Chain A
Amino acid sequence: MPKATSSDAFLLGLESLMRRSGQGSHIAATVIELAGKPDPYSIRKAAEALCQRHPLLHAHLRRSFFTFIAKWQIGPPGALPVITHETGNLEELVTRILNAGEIDIFRPGPNLQIHVLSQGDNHSIILLWPHALFDAIGIEKLIAELDSLDSIPRQEWGETNPSSGTPAELWKAAYPMIEEMRTFPSASIRSLHQPRRRSGAARFEVLKFSSDSTRIIQDKLAKTSGELLMIPYFAALSARAVAKVINSRNTGPSDMLVSLPVQRIANPSARPLFQNHMAAWSLLLGDQDLNELSTATKALYRSYASFMKRKLPTAMEALIKLNERCPSRFYLFPITHYLKGEICSLFHSHTGKVAAQTEALFTKPILNAYHIPSVSTPPGIGIFFSERNSQLACTISWREGSLDADELITLRQHLFDDLGAKAPTSP
C-alpha cells in the first residue's frame, strides 16, 4: 500500500476544497492528436497490459486511522475504460468527461480513462486522469509506454521529498516559509474567484498556435527575456492577462501571486511514474511590476532569485512534509488565512514538450498534444502552456462563475497581444 507523497497531500487539500464546494474533483485530460485512426483492438489490448503492469491504476485512497496519512489501497485489476466516439466535438467531449465525476480517487475503480475520438480525418486519444495520482511528468511517462503490451507488474511510486525529521525539526526548517506567508497580507493579492458567485463546472479553451505563429512567439520571447527563460516569461504573461481581467472589475489595484509547480527531480527517468513529485513556489508580482511584459518578466525572475537565495525551496519542502498528516479540509486553511480567502492569483505551468519521447502511438504519428487541467476556485483560473512538434498550445482553464464571456475575450486578447501572435480558438 503506497503512502501518498507529501506533494499528493498538498493536492488532496485542493481536492477536498473542490469536493466540499461542489466543484467535482481534480481531474485533467491530455489530448493526443494522431495522423490516422488508431486500431481500437490494439488500444484495448494495450489497456489490459497497462492495468497488469500498474496496480495503482486500480487503487483508491484511504486515510490511516492512526497516522492520518492517506494510503493507496490497491484493488483487483479490471479493465481500463476504453471508450470510442465516432462523432462529436472534442471540446464538448472533454468538458463532459472532465465534469462527469467518473474517476473517484476515494472509491475503488479505474484511475484512467482512454477516449478515442474520430471526427472525419481528425483522430485523437484523450487520457482522463486524476491529479492525485499523476503529475505532468507522470503522464508524460505513461504516454511513452501507452502502447506497450508488457504486462509484468512494476512498482513505480514513492516519496521524493528529501525533508525528514520530527515535527519540531520540520517546523524549524519550514519556518522561513511560514514567515514568508506572513508577509502576504500586506499585499493586495487577488484572483478571479468571486465569493458571491456560485462556482460551476470546469471550463476550458485551448489556443493552438501553428508552427509559424510559434516561431513569432519564440522570437518575441528571445528578444524580451532570452529564449531559455520560458518560465518567468510565460508566467508573467499569464499573470498580466489575469490582472487585466481583475482590473476590468474596478476592484482596485491587485498584486499577483503566481503558483509555480516545480519538479523536484529534473531528470524524468530518475523519478517514479506515479504520484506527485513537485513543490509549489509562490512568487509575488506587485501591481506596478505588471505594466510591461519585460518588466513583469524581470520582476518575476527577481522574485524567483529572492526565493532561492533565502533558501525558501527547502523551507517549502519541509512545510509540505510537515503538513502531510493534516486533514485535507484544514490543509489550505493557513494559506487562505494569510491570503484573505485566496490560494494564489492563478495556476500556471509551462510543461515544455508533451510526449517528447514518443513519436507515434499505436503506429500513428503524433501530430499535436496538450494538457487540459481542471482548476479550483479560488483562484478560478489557470493558464498552462506546452509544446509539441514546434506548435505552442495555451490552455485556459476556469470555473464557471469566475470568468464570464466578455472577460474571457479580454483575457484571450491580452494573451494574444503579449504573445505577439493569434491562434484559432477551437481545441
Chain B
Amino acid sequence: METKLLEIIQNEILEFTGSPTPETDLFEAGLDSMAIMQLLLHIEDHFKVVLEPADLSRENFQTTSKIATLITSKS
C-alpha cells in the first residue's frame, strides 16, 4: 500500500525536486489544503477508505508512511 500511495502522491499530487521516500515530509514538499482534498479522493478511490475529520491531522499526513498506517488502521 505504501508503494502505491507514494506513486499516487508523486504522480498525481505533488511535484518533488528529488526522489521521495515514504519518510519524505509532505508538507515541506507542498502538501496544502487543496492537495489534501485531491489525496482524499484518491484514497477513497484506490483503498475504499473514507477518513473522518478527526483523522485529518498534520501528524497523520506528515509522511506517506504515516498516511499508509492510518489507512491500514481504517481498512
Contacts and interface: CB of A to CB of B under 8 A. Distances in A.
Contacts of A228: 33, 36, 56-58, 61
Interface string A241-272: 00000000000000000000011011111100
B30 to A, nearest CB: 4
Interface residues of B, number: 23
Interface of A: 222-232, 262-263, 265-270, 301, 304-305, 308-309, 350, 352
A227 B41 contact: no
A266 B34 contact: yes
A231 B57 contact: no
B42 to A, nearest CB: 10
Contacts of A305: 37, 41
A226 B14 contact: no
A229 B57 contact: no
B37 A232 contact: yes
Contacts of A270: 15
A265 B37 contact: no
Contacts of B57: 222, 226-228
A232 B40 CA distance: 13
Question: What are the 5 tightest A-B residue pairs by CB atom distance, in nearest-first order?
Answer: A226-B56, A226-B53, A230-B33, A231-B33, A266-B30
Contact of A267 (B15, B34, B36): B15
Contacts of B15: 265-267, 270
B37 A304 contact: yes
Contacts of B7: none
Contacts of B38: 308
Interface in B10-58: 13-15, 17, 29-30, 32-38, 41, 51-58
A245 B12 CA distance: 39
A228 B51 CA distance: 12
Given A226-B56, A227-B58, A228-B58, A263 B41 contact: no
A308 B41 contact: yes
B32 A266 contact: yes
A225 B34 CA distance: 14
B37 A231 contact: yes
A225 B33 CA distance: 12
A263 B53 contact: no
Contact of A222 (B34, B35, B53): B53
Nearest to B13: A266
Contacts of B30: 266-268
A389 to B, nearest CB: 17
Nearest to A351: B32
A224 B32 contact: no
Contact of B34 (A223, A224, A263, A269): A263
Which of A229, A232, A265, A301 has most chain B Cβ within 10 Å?
A: A229
Nearest to A297: B53
Nearest to B53: A226
Nearest to B36: A228
B41 to A, nearest CB: 6
Contacts of B61: 228
Given A222-B53, A269-B17, A301-B37, 7 more contacts: A222-B54, A225-B53, A226-B54, A226-B57, A262-B34, A266-B32, A267-B17
A11 to B, nearest CB: 19
Contacts of B32: 266, 352
22 contacts: A222-B53, A223-B53, A224-B53, A226-B53, A226-B54, A227-B58, A228-B57, A228-B58, A228-B61, A229-B36, A229-B53, A229-B56, A262-B34, A266-B34, A267-B14, A267-B30, A268-B30, A305-B37, A305-B41, A308-B38, A308-B41, A309-B41
Nearest to A281: B34
A426 to B, nearest CB: 28
A223 B54 CA distance: 7
Contacts of B53: 222-226, 229
B29 to A, nearest CB: 8
A304 B34 CA distance: 10
